[in-house]
Amino acid sequence: EKGGYPHFMLKEIFEQPEALRKTVAPRIKDGLPDLQVEAFTDELIRSVGKIHIVACGTASYAGMIGKCALEKLVRVPAEVCIASEFRYNDPILAPDDLVIVISQSGETADTLAALRLAKEKGIHTMAIVNVVGSSIAREADSIIYTWAGPEIAVASTKAYTVQMSVMYLIALKMALVRGTLTEEEVRRYCEIIQAMPEKQQDILAQSDTCQYFASRFQNAEHLFYIGRGLDYALSMEGSLKLKEISYIHSEAYAAGELKHGTISLITDHVPVVAVATQEHIYEKTISNIKEVTTRGAKVLLVVNDRFEVKDDIADYILRLPTTEDVLMPLLAVIPLQLFAYYTAVLRGCDVDKPRNLAKSVTVE
Ligand code: M6R
């Protein structure tokens, strides 16, 4: 049932191009986004004031990528709330707000409660869910299914990728209706997203390199992930993946924030994974890398191949195929997943069933 892979997690990492294809293909018609959600009318899209994205764990990190995409492409304010916080914090919701909940299982207790709260307040709710007919899917006003297929490993991988892709499609649809992008621009983005599975495949072909990097970092007790903007959002997901399955303590930090305290933790025993895929902040992240290498940290840099990186900037460099900056997370997540996976395997961990964790958290 693992299709020849040693673990479900690895199988699911390799299934990402296919999951992306299946999720995106039915939602692009004549080159433009067509979400096939009746209730998400153009009128509703035009009237949205603010978007609240509510989810737990990895789904919330997909939401962070979505927030960045919505703010960049649609210029609509968006915020991400962890469901267990949202439900008890008396959230400020206006009638023209939109609540988007994201959940692989569709059964996460806190996410379901958050959805119910928003509905009670008369806010339009949209759910991005992987399991057909699950509680969240049944109760939301609008539902967009991700077609990742069953995800068995506790660590979420392919579900995250397709959640991001749906967030991009929502942003593109909204940008088209609200006129923040031209039709031509939206078409271009759609084309690029449709071509993304092949680029993902190219990265998967480098899995041996990720395994090698993992072997260099496997004995760390603590590790930092740094990045800015979308790269910071992605760092959070990379860090969660590593913690969850390898039990190495790690933290994701906005690269510019290190010198406000955390850099005191950096030593030659605390390696750093740096993510730099965004052109407008690339040089800034490079400066932050220099700050940590000066303090002895070994650095693995995951970088957009378009940038001219000097080989001596980091100890290990993984170059990613390039695409539109805003879409880079669809590619950059893969080496982070593979790095976490191989690190856990090398440490002898139970990758698919990490201690203390359940696949679906149906109690709060
Ligand atoms: O089923 P959900 O997407 O609602 O689950 C949310 C989180 O419990 C889940 O993403 C969790 O963080 C994963 N184990 C992370 O890999």
Predicted confidence (pLDDT) per residue in 218-271, tens digit: 999 999 999 999 999 999 999 999 999 999 999 999 999 999 999 999 999 999
What per-residue confidence (pLDDT) applies to 285? 97
Q: What is the mean pLDDT of residues 84-97?
A: 97
Determine which residue's CA is closest to atom 14 belonging to ligand 1: 155
* pLDDT band of 116, cuts 50, 70, 90: very high
Q: Quote the DSSP letter at residue 221.
A: S
* pLDDT band of 51, cuts 50, 70, 90: very high
* pLDDT band of 181, cuts 50, 70, 90: very high
Q: Quote the CA–CA distance of 111 and 84 in Å, as a whole number.
A: 7
Determine which residue's CA is closest to atom 11 belonging to ligand 1: 57
Q: Report the separation in Å between the CA atom of 360 and the middle of ligand 1, taken as the mean of its atom positions.
A: 7
Q: What is the mean pLDDT of residues 136-143?
A: 98
What per-residue confidence (pLDDT) applies to 328? 98
What per-residue confidence (pLDDT) applies to 253? 97
Predicted confidence (pLDDT) per residue in 150-168, tens digit: 999 999 999 999 999 999 9
Quote the tokens at residue 178. Answer: 């609200």
Q: Quote the CA–CA distance of 262 and 151 in Å, as a whole number.
A: 35
Looking at every residue in the chain, the average pLDDT score rounds to 97
Q: Report the separation in Å between the CA atom of 75 and the middle of ligand 1, taken as the mean of its atom positions.
A: 28
Q: What is the mean pLDDT of residues 320-330?
A: 98
Any residues with Cβ below 6 Å from ligand 1, and which?
Answer: 56-59, 103-105, 108, 111, 154-156, 240, 244, 360-361
What per-residue confidence (pLDDT) applies to 77? 98
277 CB-contact burial (10 Å; exposed 0-12 / middle 13-18 / buried 19+):
buried
Kindly compute the dihedral angle of the four CA atoms of residues 267, 268, 271, 276, in this order, to the nearest 10 degrees. 80
Contact 328, 230 (CB under 8 A): yes
What per-residue confidence (pLDDT) applies to 251? 97
- Residue 316's H or E segment, with its range, is strand 316-320
Q: Report the separation in Å between the CA atom of 20 and the middle of ligand 1, taken as the mean of its atom positions.
A: 18
- Residues above pLDDT 70, as percent of the chain: 100
User: Would residue 29 show up in a list of annotated catalytic residues for this protein?
Assistant: no
Determine which residue's CA is closest to atom 4 belonging to ligand 1: 103
Q: What is the mean pLDDT of residues 72-89?
A: 98
Q: One of 2, 50, 353, 359 is an active-site residue; which one? A: 359
Spell out the alpha helix ranges (H) of the chain.
Answer: 8-14, 16-24, 42-47, 57-73, 83-86, 109-120, 135-139, 158-178, 183-204, 207-217, 230-246, 282-294, 329-346
184 CB-contact burial (10 Å; exposed 0-12 / middle 13-18 / buried 19+):
exposed
What per-residue confidence (pLDDT) applies to 274? 98
* pLDDT band of 129, cuts 50, 70, 90: very high
